[in-house]
Structure 1
Amino acid sequence: MKNLKTILLNPFPPRVSPYLTLMREKSEQWINEDYGTLPQPFVKMMKRLDGASWAAHSWPDAPLPLSISFTRALLWGIAQDDYYAPFQAEELSKVTCRMMEVARGTIPGPEENPIIHQFSILMREFEVIATEDWIKRYIYDVSQYLEGIEIDSSISYRKNINYPSIKEYIPIRRKNVAMATVNDKIELVTGILPNYIVVHPFVQEARNIGGDLFAWSNDLISFEKERQDDEAMNLVLVIQNERKCTMEDAFDEAVQMYNSRVEDFMVLYNDVPDFGVYTPVVKKFLEGQGLWISGYLNWFEDTKRYSMQEQLN
């Protein structure tokens, strides 16, 4: 794999939370004590992830309680996708329905999967600190994430993959990468925006660009693993299928798309319109997005999630 740090634009300097050690302790505790009842290969994957490092790099300014909740949320998001996505459509639909019940306040029974319990805990943690409107928005964005997993599952995990076109891929990937929920969590650090600001075309464009940057950087990092796992929703693989080109050419085109999207983001970042009293909050939100994208790229150096050798151990 080419050195992504040298070829991907990354205008935001690396930063890390001062609470990383505590976040790692919590993460290891949850994986051992809560997720530990799941199949051991899955538990090993969760340990290789180093979700605490991901959260620490991506939300460096979050206070400790939020940093802990964000770590929990990242672990849940990965667990939800990796564990449930290979399920058959009917079973996966049942999981989605159950998750939405839990999102709206239903408490799972003791016999239910620890992934469901962790989601219930993080929802209750967010309810304590967020506004009612934020919670409603977050629940909707979680539903879009779960829908994205279902769509992905319907075309992945088979040898004869019917890849989407690049045009079809983008809106689906925005859903199943869960960046909408990440954007929501960024607001918990930079300031919660009222709904009339969130739906403004400028903010919506920033949210979409953030989703593309997260998804496409992930796809560039993970395309070798995802090709081996017969996954369809990867930009490099989608480009290669549509263009009928070499994998190297597809990779290079994905890099160009990513860097062009970074330039689009910086245009927004440097020219925030007047939102009245919320103008500085919107500016902080975009800065938070930049830190997230930069943090994800820096976390990649810590995680063993995408190491093919590690997956054999």
Structure 2
Amino acid sequence: MSIREELIVPKCYYPWETVQSPIANAFDEEEKEWYDNDYTFISEEGIKRCKPQFLSRVATYMNPTCKSIDLMRPCARLMIYITIFDDYFGITPRDELQVIADRVYEVMMGDEPNPDEIGILRQMAQARKEWLANGMPQFWIDRVSINFYEFIMYGMAEEIPFRQVENRTYPLLAHYLSFRKYSIGMWPYGDLIDPATDSPLPVHLYNHPIVQRCREILSLVIVIQNDFASIKKELEIESESLNIIFILSNQYNLSYQDSCTEAMKLHDAYCQELDDLHKSLPDFGEFQELVYDHIQHIKLQISGCANWYYNSGTNRYEPKGFIVPQYGREGDEIVIPHSVFVKK
């Protein structure tokens, strides 16, 4: 029996509740329209792969206390466009990715996409308008824009050397976590707590080291969650190295099963740290309840994301679930139109 047949991937559990969203499937039909109207740079086959992933449900599952369709709609847009961005531009060279990141930042901060620019920018601009219409302050727009930029340049760009099919290499665990905590997208995902709860966290509270550590733990836990969820698919990809199970196996000469055990130990330690920090927050004065509630929603994002993996019906982690990264490819998908990101 092969390693693949014998591997038992552990399931993630949490010492806090999992809340069910009252609007969990609210955007199932709308997101199909978004794909058809603004994701036409993906091939027809690529769009077919996207629709059964239920990416809009990531927003509702991870922000399960939100009952407002209007508050959640731009969050659902972000969940989709950050995921498709990562899939589609995952092997783009760093210098070209820099150009794209700069343009994304401009649009998220207020610049309007040109008519001939790629449709994903229209989704970003529309989300920004909806957040502003729902009362989100400019300092929060600044925050999510910066965090999206860092997702691209501190995360995706740092993965490029390990995405070379002809030269499979593994980062060390510490290095992997240093960039994967950005490329997993959880810094901007975590920002969605503010609009989903209609409670923007002031800058001085957001910058507090305890809050920043809790946000970092959110990212690190979801890295491991995601790697468990995608391991079945990634075992089939001969060149894949960016999964904590592969990395632990390579670095410490472990079986994949023992690597799963070690990864879960790390996952559980992060969760315990988050729970401990939440229970022992420093004195935030008049903002105590606001900060406590924000950290509570970080925890709900973690358990909500696991709930999405296990119970949403997504087919994202099945064979051919992802769209094909496009740099330099021809055939079943179109080549990335990088030039549309460059202002004439």
Partner of 2:137: 131
- Note closer, same or farther for the CA distance 1:41–1:244 as it changes in structure 2 (3 Å cut): farther
Instruction: Name the SS of the counterpart of 1:20 in structure 2.
Output: coil
Q: Does 1:214 align with 2:246?
A: no
- Give the counterpart of 1:31 among 31, 35, 41: 35
- Residue 125 of structure 2 aligns with an amino acid whose one-letter code is S
Aligned mates of 1:21, 1:252 — CA distance in 2: 33
CA root-mean-square deviation: 2.1
Partner of 1:185: 192
- Residue 300 of structure 2 aligns with an amino acid whose one-letter code is L
Aligned mates of 1:279, 1:46 — CA distance in 2: 41
Aligned mates of 1:102, 1:109 — CA distance in 2: 10
Partner of 2:178: 171
- Give the counterpart of 2:121 among 116, 124, 129: 116
- Residue 127 of structure 1 aligns with an amino acid whose one-letter code is L
Map 1:73-152; keep pairs closer than 5 Å.
73-128=78-133, 129-147=135-153, 148-152=155-159
Percent of matched pairs sharing the same residue: 25
**What stretches of structure 2 of length at least 5 have no aligned partner?**
1-6, 324-344
- Give the counterpart of 1:49 among 30, 50, 53: 53
1:203-229: per-residue Cα shift (whole Å, max 9, x none)?
Answer: 111111111111111111112323544
Instruction: Name the SS of the counterpart of 1:22 in structure 2.
Output: coil
Aligned mates of 2:9, 2:170 — CA distance in 1: 27
**Structure index of larger Rg:** 2
Instruction: Name the SS of the counterpart of 2:26 in structure 1.
Output: helix
- Between 1:300-309 and 1:209-218, the stretch displaced more is 300-309
TM-score calculated relative to the size of structure 2: 0.84
1:1-50: per-residue Cα shift (whole Å, max 9, x none)?
Answer: 63643xx2323333332223432121122123322452123212321321
TM-score calculated relative to the size of structure 1: 0.91
Partner of 1:66: 71
Q: Give the superposition deviation at 1:300.
A: 0.9
Q: Give the superposition deviation at 1:282.
A: 0.9
Aligned mates of 1:297, 1:233 — CA distance in 2: 20
Higher relative contact order (CA 8 A, sep 6+): 2
CA contact (8 A) 1:225 1:308 kept: yes
- Between 1:96-105 and 1:211-220, the stretch displaced more is 96-105
- Note closer, same or farther for the CA distance 1:68–1:261 as it changes in structure 2 (3 Å cut): same
**What stretches of structure 1 of length at least 5 have no aligned partner?**
none
Partner of 2:319: 308
- Give the counterpart of 2:209 among 201, 204, 222: 201
Aligned residues: 310
- Note closer, same or farther for the CA distance 1:18–1:208 as it changes in structure 2 (3 Å cut): same
- Residue 251 of structure 2 aligns with an amino acid whose one-letter code is E
- Residue 231 of structure 2 aligns with an amino acid whose one-letter code is F
CA contact (8 A) 1:23 1:67 kept: no
